Each structure stands twice: as structure tokens, then as C-alpha cells.
Structure 1
Amino acid sequence: MDIRVSRLHFPVTTLGPGRRIGIWFQGCSIRCAGCISMDTWADAGGETSVAAVLAQVREWLPLATGITISGGEPFDQPEALLALLRRLREAAVDDILVYSGHAFESLAATLTQADGLIDALITDPFDIDAPQTLGLRGSDNQRLHCLTALGRARYATYAQAPRSAAKALDVMFDEDGSVWFAGIPERHDFLRLQEILSEQGHRIQISADKARSRSDGKFRP
């Protein structure tokens, strides 16, 4: 089964409990303003196979406490997502958390086929102007759905739990020298990082936050 994947990483500690394997799908039809992962929007790139993804995941499984699938938009590749979820279950992974920018109600057909394969699901588009107070969510309009007994045991406490006072991001350094982040940043965190690095003489380009004017607070395409 073909699949488009932006990146794989272990460990991820900011998108679910424990030390997790992160799988980011490539391609997104939703494209929320202020998205932290604008580099995953393109519909081309990242072509691989579910078997290749599983081969890498198996190397990390003995040390992992769960898997987080994000993107991009995983449900834009429903057949590949279902194939991956089934193979992950066969590999006896622990809990599986999936992020989607689609409304829960619009995912009914795929979720029926994924019954028992997803333990917890976070849905709905990121809203850059909404409050940002709930754990695991970029904006408070997003909903957390616990879909299995394991999901309820692991994630029920996150339903209305506030975000931790100690905010954190995972910072990843790839072999090609690129640096990227996993997690849910605070508003304008990347702008503040840009200012710090610029003051030190670095030349950088960021995607998140860049479309928001700092003078009037309005989003600009």
C-alpha cells in the first residue's frame, strides 16, 4: 500500500503520554491559518509504502509507550491510514492517538472501518483566534474523543485538563542539518524564537505565525 509521509520520529514527548513514535502524513486539504506544519500541506512528496513505515516503527517499538499520527491530514489518505492502523495493531503497539483537522462527524465512514484501531482522536480545524488552554489541543474548539477502553484509561484526564504550566516542544535535528519541532507552541512562540536567533546573527525562515501581522493582529494570507 502506497502512503505519503512527511517524517517519522522517536521519541516524541509532547503529543500524548510517554515516549511516543510520531508519524506525520504528507498532504493536507484543510490548511488552517497559523498551522505549525505548513511544510506538510503539499500533496506531492514523501511517497513511500506502509511496509517501509512499519519497518522503521518496529525498530522503535520496544522503547515506545504509544504512537501519535498527525500531519498533514491523515484522513486525506483514508485507505493508507486504515492499512497503517491495521498493521500497527498487528505489531502489538500500545495506544494510538490520531490528529485530524476534519470534524468528527465527517469522518464516520472511515471511523467505522477503523473501529478498535484508534484509541484517542483529536478532531476539528485549528483556530488561531480561539483560546489555547486545553491539553494536547492547539485551540480549544478542537475535541478529544476516547474511542476504546485503553483510550479512556489513557486520555480521559486530558478531556478538560488545562495545558501544563511547563510548556515544552520537542526539537529534532535531521541528518541533513534541518531542524524542526513537534508539539503545540504558544501563540507567537516562533516569532519570539525568530527574534532571539536574529539577534544572534542567524538568518532563518519560519512558517507558523508568519502570516499574522504583529501590528494589527489580523491574519493575512
Structure 2
Amino acid sequence: MLGTYVNTLVIILGSILGLLIKNGLKEKYKTIVMNGVGLSVLFIGMSTTLNGILNGGEPILFIISIVIGGLIGEFIDIDLRLNRLGDSLQNRVGRGGEHNIAKGFVTASLIFCVGTMAILGSLESGLQGKHDMLYAKSVLDGVTSIILTSTLGIGVIFSSIAVLIYQGSITLLAKFIEPVLTVETIREISIIGGILIFSLGLNLLNIKKIKTANYLPAILIPPIYYLFI
């Protein structure tokens, strides 16, 4: 778990630094940074998806996964529940200037958790006791958390909890889930993750309001598919 602990701590420290920067930025600079973050998130999502497709991704599978996952997520209404959680956190932290903690939390959690480094790094930690990949991911996440917090606010810091639970679970259960997380499964999860991140970019740029969180169950479809197929 050492790699995950380091990753979690770095995100917290990066978020704190991002808050200090946020408080010192004028509104016009916050807008510029926000647009830059939105464009970058769009590019990350698009490149992640295309990379997976070019490496043998199955279009039918990720389309079906998005549709089924979206229906499940809409039925549960994950987006609404996360926003309620954000409102609860808002009341607890008592920061009047923060109006959408859930947005920062969801955006950062998806960026930090959905990707091959999170999965492979956690498996490597659990199976071999090596943490090099998660250490490298920690550096990337630390820089990203600074930038995200400077625009999205304190909600980003709570994504450290999602990282701790997600990567920690994979690490602790590595021996049991390794057979399920095949190369094909991880590839399809990455493609879906890329689509969700692209969706976040559209939200950040106010191009289209999409309940991205409601599509989270789509990530579970490929493991189930390959487990039975």
C-alpha cells in the first residue's frame, strides 16, 4: 500500500498548494486557467480513447458499455448523489466561495483513477511489492491537483479519498483480480475512461452539460464481459 499512500498524500499536498494559488488569482486569470484545463482534459480523453482503439479496442463493446453503464447510473442517479455529497461537504468545510465541490471531486477522481497507471501500478504494488509506477503517477497527480484546485477549488482534495479506496482495493485484492484484469480488459476500461474524461472537458468548457458520473458503471462492463467470454 506504500505507493497508494504516497499518491494520496501528494494529491492532498498539491491541492493545498492549489488553494493558495487560487486565492491569489484574479478572476480573469482563473478563467484563462479554467479554459486551459478544459482543453487539456479534452485532449487527454481523446488521446486515451484513440490510443485504446488503435491498439485493438472493440468499438461495439465500449459503445454497449457506455449505454448500459449510463442506464444503470441514471437509474441510481450517481450524479445527484455526488452533488448531495458535495453539498454536505460544503456545509462542513464552510467555505462560502466554493459553490460546486462535487464538480472538483468528480473531475479529479476520474482523472486520477481512470487510467492504466492506476490499475497496473496498484497490481505491481500488490503482487511484487514494487511502487515505481505509482511513484511516477504521484508526481503527475501532484502537478495536476495543483492546477485543478486552482480552478475547481477544494473539492479536488477529496479525490484523494477516491484514490486511496480505488488503488488500495486493487493492491489488496491483486492476487484475486489479476486474472480478470487482462490486457484486453484494461484496454477497454481505458477507452471508456477516456470517453468519460472527454465528457468532463465538455463540462469544464461549458460546451455541453453531461452527467458524467452517471456513466461510471460503464467501467465495470468490460471485466464482466471478458470474465464470461
Which band: TM-score by shorter chain? under 0.3
Higher relative contact order (CA 8 A, sep 6+): 2
Structure with bigger strand share is 1
TM-score, normalized by length of structure 1? 0.25
TM-score, normalized by length of structure 2? 0.25
Structure with bigger helix share is 2
